Amino acid sequence: MQLEMLPTTVIGSYPRPKWLREAISLSRNGRIKKEDLEEAFNDAAVVVMRDHQKAGIDVPTDGEVKRDEMVEFFAERLNGFKFYGPVRVWGTAYYKKPSVVSKIEYRNPMLVDEVQFTKSISYTPFFKVTITGPYTIGYWSYNEYYKDRQEMVFDLAKVINTELKNLVEAGSKIIQIDEPAIHSNADEVKWAIDAVNESVKGINAKLMVHICYGNYKIVAPYLNDLKVDQINFALKMYNYKPLKLFKEVGYDKEIGAGVIDVHNRNVETPEEVYRDIKRVMEYFPLEKIWINPDCGLKLLPRDIAFSKMVSMVKGTLMMREELKKNGTISS
Ligand SMILES: [Zn+2]
């Protein structure tokens, strides 16, 4: 079995069904049992997978419905972290910013259960699992123990590497390292790339890195140094301007092209997606292009997230049809 040309995927997160959010708050008040909440989480993963299937996504995820947040989840499960109060990020969104207070060490597998369950419910062998990368976990944590951030991030790379080995053993064949913070600091980006490489050392899977909002100029010269198969980017929100930059630096890996704006509730039309894919094809060879939203869909209303996925797939199918008709790809 093989993926079609221009494979479609999601970045990872998907809106939690409303009933799951209610179940979570009931469990916080002690009104439903732990087992019942676990069942609700599993059921939610099933419906998200089903949404992805209905939309026609080639490489789905479980929507990360079991994780509250992308740094906190891992910090809670590793040795060395302590939590202070919530910190404000992006307007009204808050998160519990963790602090590193002792050496970061691996405790137990963090995502193995999630992978095993996702594998058991996936409609395709090409499901994807996501994990937050070492630089982003380090950048979004306080450092109260290490000499500097670099030392902290390289210890994080070690524990992520251990986790990745366990995920491959559990059946992960496509793994995405989320590094939305990697282009936050121009003075650190070079070793941040090395840290990601350290985290994927010896990992036998198709590897992707997700980089989204921020200054791509900071990271562009180092993209080819990442020892992964693919990097996926937010492009729609930037009206595809970064494509020129990536071309200029000689970027030559697979590119996951963000064609859906996750900060805008207007649903892109399939025609718009088709035209946008055409623009990406002007810069990169067809066989190196994957199609995805700019970022996770989690913060959108569920019906809008779903409609956006449907348009993304329809626009991709329009392009595939055209390529088959003109003989560029075989049908
Ligand atoms: Zn993102």
- DSSP-assigned letter for residue 9: B
The whole-angstrom separation of Cα 36 and Cα 258 is 36
Domains of the chain: 18-324 (3.20.20.210)
Token pair 């329009």 is at which residue?
318
Q: What is the pLDDT of residues 163-174, one digit of tens each?
A: 999 999 999 999
- Phi, psi (degrees; rounded to nearest 5) at 268: -60, 150
- Phi, psi (degrees; rounded to nearest 5) at 272: -65, -45
Q: What is the pLDDT of residue 76?
A: 95
The whole-angstrom separation of Cα 139 and Cα 142 is 8
**Distance from residue 329's CA to the centre of ligand 1 (Å):** 31
Instruction: Spell out which residues have Cβ within 5 A of ligand 1, the ion.
Output: 180, 212, 295
pTM of the model: 0.96
Q: H-type helices in 56-140, by residue range? A: 72-75, 112-121, 134-139
Task: Compute CA distances 37 → 26, 33, 230, whole Å.
Answer: 9, 6, 35
Q: What is the pLDDT of residue 122?
A: 98
Q: What is the pLDDT of residue 216?
A: 98
**Distance from residue 326's CA to the centre of ligand 1 (Å):** 35
**Distance from residue 245's CA to the centre of ligand 1 (Å):** 19
Task: State which residues of the chain have pLDDT below 50.
Answer: none
Q: What is the pLDDT of residues 216-254, one digit of tens each?
A: 999 999 999 999 999 999 999 999 999 999 999 999 999
Q: What is the pLDDT of residue 86?
A: 79
- Pick the closest to residue 131 from 117, 151, 111 (CA basis): 111
**Distance from residue 11's CA to the centre of ligand 1 (Å):** 7
Q: What is the pLDDT of residues 111-125, one digit of tens each?
A: 999 999 999 999 999
Q: Is 52 annotated as a binding residue?
A: no
Query: Two tokens at 161?
Result: 């590497």
**Distance from residue 300's CA to the centre of ligand 1 (Å):** 13
**Distance from residue 210's CA to the centre of ligand 1 (Å):** 6
The whole-angstrom separation of Cα 12 and Cα 128 is 8
Pair 13, 297: CB distance under 8 Å: yes
**Distance from residue 74's CA to the centre of ligand 1 (Å):** 17
SS3 call for 94: strand
In sequence order, the 6+-apart residues with CB closer than 8 A to the CB of 144 are 99, 100, 101
Nearest-5° Cα angle at 217, 185 to 273:
120
Q: H-type helices in 216-326, by residue range? A: 216-219, 242-248, 270-283, 302-325
Q: Is 295 annotated as a binding residue?
A: yes
Measured distance between the N- and C-terminal CA atoms of the chain, rounded to whole angstroms: 15
**Distance from residue 18's CA to the centre of ligand 1 (Å):** 23
In sequence order, the 6+-apart residues with CB closer than 8 A to the CB of 80 are 100, 101, 102, 103, 104, 105, 145, 155
**Distance from residue 211's CA to the centre of ligand 1 (Å):** 6
**Distance from residue 183's CA to the centre of ligand 1 (Å):** 12
**Distance from residue 232's CA to the centre of ligand 1 (Å):** 9
**Distance from residue 177's CA to the centre of ligand 1 (Å):** 11
Q: What is the pLDDT of residue 330?
A: 86
